[in-house]
């Protein structure tokens, strides 16, 4: 069973992502900030990381850079939109710093499944039938 790590400081976002990913057969780990996410990733590597960018104490871009230092193979989807503006600017920076795919909040389930298909083609998401 593939596993995924969700890093987001908003519990509602984590819950929504967990539900979407569990339906695709992922085993889920959750972290509420970058530091916790990095600790979890170091102890239990996963195939997919979904990481928010705007978080207190340890932001998403630094977290993505640190995860990338540990593993070049893990797939990372950066998500953002919590601020008032400039989400795309920050997502582009995340992509430059190691994210495989970016998603601007709010996004649909299909957009997430598309992103996963893009990152992990061998994981069946049924994205084309979904929705």
Partner 1 sequence: MPKASLSEKLRGWFADDDSSSSPAESRRAPVESHRELVDTALPRDAESTLSLERRLKELLTHPQLLSAGRIHLINFANLRKRLGDSWPRLRDRVHAAADRLINQAIGPRDVQFRNGDGEYIIVFAALNRQAATLVCAKVAEELHRLFLGEPELSEVTISTAVGVVDGRLLYEEVSAADLLRELERERQVPSESAAPLPEAARDGAGVSATTPAEPRKLQLASQAFERIDTMFRPVWDVRRQVISTYMCTPVRLFPDGTSVEGVAALASISDPQRLAAADMDFLTNTVETLDELFCNKFRLMVSVPVCFETLAARRSRQEYIGLCQSVPTYLRQFLSFEFLRFPDGVPNGRMTELVNELRPFGRRTFLRVDVRQPNFTLLVGTGLTGVSTLVNADRGAEARTMEELNSFVAAAERAGLQSCVAGITSTSLAIAARAAGFTFIAGDRVGRTEEVPQHMLHFGWQDLFLRGSKRPG
Applying CB under 8 A, the residues found at the interface with partner 1 are 9, 34, 53-62, 65, 80, 82-87, 89-90, 93, 96-97
Question: How many Cβ atoms from other residues are within 10 Å of residue 130's Cβ?
Answer: 15
- C-beta separation of 103 from 112 below 8 A: yes
Minimum CB distance to partner 1 smaller for 43 or for 96: 96
- Whole-angstrom Cα distance, residue 78 to residue 85? 16
Minimum CB distance to partner 1 smaller for 92 or for 124: 92
The least distance separating partner 1 from the CB of residue 96, rounded to whole angstroms, comes to 7
Question: Which residues contact residue 106 at a Cβ distance below 8 angstroms, ignoring those fewer than 6 apart?
Answer: 81
The least distance separating partner 1 from the CB of residue 40, rounded to whole angstroms, comes to 18
Minimum CB distance to partner 1 smaller for 34 or for 37: 34
């Amino acid at each position: 069973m593939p596993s995924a790590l969700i890093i987001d400081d908003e519990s509602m976002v984590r819950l929504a992502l967990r539900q979407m990913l569990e339906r695709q057969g992922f085993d889920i780990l959750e972290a509420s900030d970058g530091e916790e996410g990095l600790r979890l990733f170091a102890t239990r590597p996963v195939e997919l990381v979904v990481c928010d960018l705007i978080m207190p104490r340890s932001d998403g871009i630094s977290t993505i850079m640190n995860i990338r230092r540990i593993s070049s193979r893990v797939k990372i989807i950066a998500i953002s939109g919590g601020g008032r503006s400039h989400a795309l600017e920050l997502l582009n920076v995340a992509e430059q710093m190691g994210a495989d795919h970016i998603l601007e909040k709010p996004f649909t389930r299909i957009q997430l499944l598309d992103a996963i298909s893009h990152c992990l083609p061998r994981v069946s998401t049924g994205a084309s039938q979904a929705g």
